[in-house]
Amino acid sequence: MAVITDEEIAAARKAGEEVGPCAIAAHYFAEDRSLGVELDNGVRLRVPVSLIQGLGEASDEVLAAIEISPVGWGLHFPAIDADVYVPSLFRGIYGSRAWMRELGRRTSPAKAAASRENGKKGGRPRKAEVHA
């Protein structure tokens, strides 16, 4: 059997402290269909579930049943077997690259209004040419 030294225990404890912030609470807010996450450093984030891959179509009951991973880096929704990586949420990454690209393609009243305003100004500006 291997013997663990006091130095190894101290190093393991230090490494455990350096993992960064982790989720200590998560809540689904049905009134505006958003997911709230609180980290152990006091930081809180609230994101509409329509922006998070795999959660947009889920029912309120499914979204209310949230499990936090033991390390606090993951949120699990057992009824739909969906997982959300907490550090990505705080970086504004709500799904795969393909999912995020598709979200950007969707039209909305705000995008349509911005496009109309841009059109009044002559459209999208041309890319500047760089001469070396």
Query: What single DSSP character describes residue 21?
Result: -
- For tokens 């841009």, name the residue: 118
Tell me the CB-side half-sphere exposure of residue 104, using CA atoms within 13 A: 9
Strands 44-48 and 34-39, how do they pair? antiparallel
- For tokens 């982790």, name the residue: 22
User: What pTM, to 2 d.p., does this model score?
Assistant: 0.64
Set out the domains of the chain in order of their start, with CATH numbers. 20-120 (3.30.2020.40)
Specify the length of the chain in residues. Answer: 132
Q: What is the residue-level pLDDT of the chain in tens, covering all 132 positions?
A: 678 888 888 887 777 666 678 899 999 999 999 999 999 999 999 999 998 888 989 999 999 999 999 889 999 999 999 999 998 888 887 776 776 676 667 677 777 777 778 778 777 777 777 776
